[in-house]
């Protein structure tokens, strides 16, 4: 994996604020790939916050969030903000979640410099960027044809992270198990917290989603007293989802959705129908439990077993009447 690029934060003086080029390893051995790297250093010492996105190459909402972050010309009171909007440039070039060898980069951390391409790239990322931050925000979205309601995923049990979660506007927090080989897992193992943001759909940019991404970053900066202006306040108490499950298609056909993303759903509630090409209903889909639709399939042509809805199970004590008005994401 030949590249001479080595990132050292100390090479950039306090007060430095610019997008530079990080040189990622060569693509097909032709030339190194230039990846934007945003560095914003205040004059005063403080924590380093690192924002990453496009570990999955088709999850472009995160790229747009970082563009907006750069445009916002954020003024830091102290510390450093780093944003690396394209961690998997090979996937972005191919408009694909994966690397060119069909491997998922986010299953190969912390990587191995003598391993597969994915493993070497993960090792390159960890070596250059895995130790510079005190706190990481990794931006994701659903895959292509899969839409996720904006949500935070974390499992880093620290009082500081829990306090921070309270200050973030996004009401949904999904307590998700660490994925083996994920960037978040590798950071957590080093004792560094990382919040994962999930929102929107692959290969699509949505303003609601990017607004939430920006608000999340601003919340973290405000929490660490790095910016003066607070982000919009949370409207609601956090809803912690402890368990979620994908509902899968019982047969193939044409899916017509009758439910809205982010709304609460009751057990046995009618949520979708599957029709054949003649227009006849061949199956009605009912929710197996009370919950919130966290994510949904957007491609009506479905095969048996395709994932249709990601249902987050609600705690029994939640007042559904209040919660069902929370999420209004019709225009997602």
Q: Which is nearer to Zn ion, 123 or 148 (CB)?
A: 148
Build a one-symbol-per-residue string for 50-79: x at contacts with Zn ion by CB under 5 A, - elsewhere.
------x--x--------------------
Q: E strand or H helix at 94, and its extent?
A: none
Considering the complex, what minimum distance in angstroms separates the CB of residue 106 from Zn ion? 6
- Judge contact between 195 and 151, C-beta under 8 A: no
Please count the residues of this chain forming the interface with Zn ion, following the rule CB under 5 A. Answer: 3
146 binds Zn ion (CB under 5 A): no
Q: Which is nearer to Zn ion, 46 or 295 (CB)?
A: 295
Considering the complex, what minimum distance in angstroms separates the CB of residue 56 from Zn ion? 4
| Look-up of token digits 């509902």 | 247
- Part of the chain binding Zn ion (CB under 5 A), chosen from 9-17, 62-70, 137-145, 292-300: 137-145
Q: Which is nearer to Zn ion, 41 or 146 (CB)?
A: 146
Q: Report helix, strand or coil for 323.
A: helix
Q: Which is nearer to Zn ion, 140 or 153 (CB)?
A: 140
Considering the complex, what minimum distance in angstroms separates the CB of residue 249 from Zn ion? 22
140 binds Zn ion (CB under 5 A): yes
DSSP string, 129-156: HSSS-SEEEEEE---BTEEEEEEEEE--
Using only C-alpha atoms, the chain has a radius of gyration, in whole angstroms, of 21
48-53 and 135-140 as β-strands: parallel, antiparallel, unpaired? parallel
Q: Which is nearer to Zn ion, 106 or 255 (CB)?
A: 106
Q: Tell me the CB-side half-sphere exposure of residue 122, using CA atoms within 13 A.
A: 26
- Part of the chain binding Zn ion (CB under 5 A), chosen from 130-138, 140-148, 261-269, 322-330: 140-148
- Part of the chain binding Zn ion (CB under 5 A), chosen from 135-143, 225-233, 247-255, 267-275: 135-143
- Judge contact between 291 and 266, C-beta under 8 A: no
Q: Which is nearer to Zn ion, 93 or 286 (CB)?
A: 93
- Judge contact between 228 and 299, C-beta under 8 A: no
108 binds Zn ion (CB under 5 A): no
| Look-up of token digits 């249709």 | 308
Number of residue whose CB is nearest Zn ion: 140
Considering the complex, what minimum distance in angstroms separates the CB of residue 36 from Zn ion? 19
Structure tokens at 236: 């609601």
- Part of the chain binding Zn ion (CB under 5 A), chosen from 82-90, 121-129, 132-140, 145-153: 132-140
Q: Report helix, strand or coil for 238.
A: coil
Q: Which is nearer to Zn ion, 184 or 263 (CB)?
A: 184
At 64, phi and psi to the nearest 5? -65, -40
Considering the complex, what minimum distance in angstroms separates the CB of residue 273 from Zn ion? 30
Considering the complex, what minimum distance in angstroms separates the CB of residue 94 from Zn ion? 15
10-13: Cβ within 8 A, 24+ apart: 12/39, 12/41, 13/41
Considering the complex, what minimum distance in angstroms separates the CB of residue 151 from Zn ion? 12
Structure tokens at 240: 């912690």
Considering the complex, what minimum distance in angstroms separates the CB of residue 100 from Zn ion? 17
Q: Which is nearer to Zn ion, 42 or 92 (CB)?
A: 92
Q: What sign does the CA torsion over 182, 184, 187, 189 have?
A: negative
Alpha-carbon distance of 3 to 9, in angstroms, equals 18
Residues in contact with Zn ion by CB under 5 A are 56, 59, 140
């Amino acid at each position: 994996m030949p590249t001479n690029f080595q990132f050292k934060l100390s090479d950039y003086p306090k007060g430095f604020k610019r997008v530079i080029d990080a040189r990622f390893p060569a693509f097909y051995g032709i030339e190194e790939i230039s990846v934007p790297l945003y560095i914003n250093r205040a004059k005063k010492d403080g924590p380093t916050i690192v924002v990453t996105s496009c570990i999955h190459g088709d999850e472009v909402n995160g790229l747009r969030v970082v563009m907006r972050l750069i445009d916002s010309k954020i003024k830091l009171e102290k510390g450093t903000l780093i944003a690396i909007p394209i961690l998997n440039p090979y996937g972005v070039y191919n408009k694909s979640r994966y690397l060119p060898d069909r491997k998922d980069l986010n299953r190969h951390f912390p990587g191995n410099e003598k391993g597969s391409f994915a493993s070497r790239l993960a090792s390159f990322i960890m070596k250059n960027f895995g130790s510079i931050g005190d706190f990481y925000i990794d931006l994701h979205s659903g895959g292509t044809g899969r839409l996720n309601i904006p949500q935070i995923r974390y499992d880093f049990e620290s009082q500081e992270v829990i306090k921070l979660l309270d200050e973030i506007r996004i009401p949904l927090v999904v307590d998700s198990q660490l994925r083996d080989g994920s960037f978040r897992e590798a950071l957590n193992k080093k004792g560094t917290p990382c919040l994962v943001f999930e929102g929107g759909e692959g290969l699509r940019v949505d303003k609601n989603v990017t607004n939430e991404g920006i608000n999340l970053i601003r919340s973290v900066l405000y929490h660490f007293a790095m910016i003066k202006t607070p982000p919009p306040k949370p409207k609601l108490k956090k809803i912690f989802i402890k368990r979620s499950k994908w509902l899968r298609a019982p047969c193939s056909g044409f899916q017509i959705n009758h439910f809205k993303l982010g709304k609460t759903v009751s057990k046995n509630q009618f949520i979708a129908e599957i029709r054949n090409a003649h227009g006849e209903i061949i199956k009605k889909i009912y929710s197996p439990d009370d919950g919130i639709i966290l994510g949904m399939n957007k491609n009506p042509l479905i095969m048996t077993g395709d994932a249709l809805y990601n249902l987050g199970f609600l705690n029994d004590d939640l007042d559904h009447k209040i919660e069902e008005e929370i999420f209004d994401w019709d225009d997602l």
